[in-house]
Structure 1
Amino acid sequence: MTPQYPEDRKRLESRSLVVAMWGNLFMAAAGLLAGILSNSNAIMMDGLFSLIGFGSALLGRRISLRIDAGPDKLRPFGYAADEAIFATFRSLSLLGLVLFAVANALKSIYSYLNGMVPEPLIFAPMITYFSVIGVTCAILWGFHYFTWRRTGRNSSILQVEAKAAMFDGLVTAAAGVGLGAIYMFRDGPLASIAPVGDSVIVMLLCLLAIGSYVRDFRGGLGELAGISASPAKLAAARRSLRAAIAEDGGTLLDMSVTKLGRTFLVSVYYDPDRAVSAMEVDRLNLRMIRDARQALPGADVMLMITEHPRRWPDEMNPN
């Protein structure tokens, strides 16, 4: 059941992000310690991912606490853009870490091919690490996912954190399987790559991760650039406004929908086909906002009384 009041949603979201902070900090410390004890770059990289997760949860909580604040002198359009900025730069920081890990793995492989044998892996600490971190990731994913559902499924921050926890769990599981295979077959089929098996796994994990992070980065960048929302969201907004427009009796000339974080901005270009007062325009705008929020939670409607759609006719264009 979705909480009725914004304060309750904010409290639940803040609690989930506090859990994310401490969970990621624990996993980061465990990963760095286990990476040192086992001489494993793959585990070290896993710990660095969690360290970035701690920082992002800390920043995400600060953004969450003020995301619903309305326009003010400093931010005349409100604080909705902070969520899109968060998602964009979190993906960018993870991409940077992936590229760093790839460069280190390639360096290790190159050194091995030139006769430099890396320190052997110590497998004993790995079993405890993969077991504990796998359970922690599952708990974090469940906590974020069900909080996201309880708060109306419109928090990009919680959605990103749930996805990150799930992906971190999958990466941890993949690293565990890969290192386990190297341990079991280090004197058999995998003997030739066993000395650099850790670096090979890092490469494979990075290839697995990079596509997801590029998509997240492009999605956040698209929101910041003001790209139109998906056709499904546009159709939902159009349906939600039909009743208000039919009752008012005017003509819908054009409409656009953009997404920014958890909010949607519906721009309505509307000709009332009659003289209207400012009070009538305000009432129609508020009706549209209420109706739009039934289809798109967090939506706002900008009603523009005009004879033209979003682009001025060429003969009138001041440019």
Structure 2
Amino acid sequence: MTDTPALNIEKRALNAGKWANLVMAVAGFLTAWLSRSDAMLVDGLYSAVNFISAIAAARIGARVGLPPTRSRPWGHDFDEVLYVTFRSLILIGVLIFAAIIAGSKIWTFAAGGEVPELVFGPIAVYAVTIIIICLALAFNYHRAYRKSGKRSAVLKMEARAALIDGALSLGSGAALLSLPFLTGTPLGPFVPIGDAVIVLVLILAIIWQPLGSFRSTLADLAGVSAPGTTVGKASRIARKLAKENGYKFHRAAVLQAGRMHFAAVYINPQKPVTAAEMDRFQDLLSARLEDVIGPTRVEVMITARDALAPPAATETNTGVS
């Protein structure tokens, strides 16, 4: 079922984030050019990915929960999972690209090549500005996530991304601005590659977030069961409703795709029933599940089997003529 108020909240938050990330991306590229810093370039690339992702997220958010169609018999709910999966892959790719750039600078320095000297003025202004914007974005996303019922994987992902972007700006800005203080110390000769080292450290610190998101959404795409607590709640509700109608409840299987759940409920009516009765049972069960675990698409399976079992083996005629 499409929750229009929740989708409107999500849409407004994503729209604000889209333009904020565009501003940060342009600022990052400009600061990287003025300061000759690879860390600022990585920051700008991260914001650019967030800007492009916000455009895709708005389109996906508008489709999630729409009724099934002939071309999409299960609806558009898996689009949200695909979005988070590919966004995670893109972020991983950006971080790998940044590692290659940083590694090449370190290699050039080690081989005796010339490394451009950093200009620190633009970095200080950029870092403070971006940190404020990122904190405001993360707060806005998280507030929208709570107001929309804590069901949007897109808003949850964007809130984390904004915090990571802010942490990236804070860490890189503070570390870069501290490099001049190393002059005259044993680490002084390595100041020219300081920002490359900072980039590698930041990558090691944040790459686990997109990797974790990718692993989680990959499980959803693979059809792995929803968490045990979710399955348990769905089973209890389905068992109670089946008992109310005089049906025998066998089991429930639940998958999750972003904010949407897919529940297959197996029952034995143990008496003649009409299609209209099954439709009413399905609609009532869907409503009860939505109140407890969130939006749910329910399929009712009538079967006499108590447990999952492979189909009976087909007999093959092996006679010899």
Q: 1 CA distance for matches of 2:28 and 2:89?
A: 22
Partner of 2:5: 8
Partner of 1:115: 112
SS in 2 for 1:193: helix
Partner of 2:200: 203
CA contact (8 A) 1:117 1:195 kept: no
Please provide the CA RMSD for this pair: 1.9
Q: How many residues align?
A: 316
Q: 1 CA distance for matches of 2:12 and 2:101?
A: 37
SS in 1 for 2:188: coil
CA contact (8 A) 1:182 1:190 kept: no
Partner of 2:305: 308
Q: 1 CA distance for matches of 2:134 and 2:100?
A: 27
2:74 maps to a residue whose letter is: F
Q: 2 CA distance for matches of 1:48 and 1:222?
A: 28
SS in 1 for 2:72: coil
Partner of 1:58: 55
Aligned-pair CA distance for 1:269:
1.3
Query: Which is higher, the Rg of structure 1 or of structure 2?
Result: 2
- Unaligned ranges ≥5, structure 2: 317-321
Aligned-pair CA distance for 1:244:
0.5
1:174 aligned to which of 171, 174, 178: 171
Change (3 A) 1:104 1:310: farther
Change (3 A) 1:135 1:105: same
Matches within 5 A, 1:258-273: 258-273=255-270
TM-score where L is the length of structure 1? 0.94
Partner of 1:43: 40
CA contact (8 A) 2:238 2:265 kept: no
Partner of 1:185: 182
- Unaligned ranges ≥5, structure 1: none
Q: 2 CA distance for matches of 1:74 and 1:176?
A: 49
Q: 2 CA distance for matches of 1:31 and 1:267?
A: 48
Q: 2 CA distance for matches of 1:274 and 1:184?
A: 83
Identical counterparts, % of pairs: 32
SS in 2 for 1:27: helix
CA contact (8 A) 2:24 2:130 kept: yes
Change (3 A) 1:78 1:309: farther
Q: 1 CA distance for matches of 2:36 and 2:54?
A: 28
Partner of 1:287: 284
Partner of 2:319: none
CA contact (8 A) 1:25 1:54 kept: yes
Change (3 A) 1:309 1:199: farther
Change (3 A) 1:70 1:317: farther
CA contact (8 A) 2:243 2:249 kept: no
Residues 52-100 of structure 1: per-residue CA shift (max 9 Å, x gap): 0000000100111222221112211111011001000000000111111
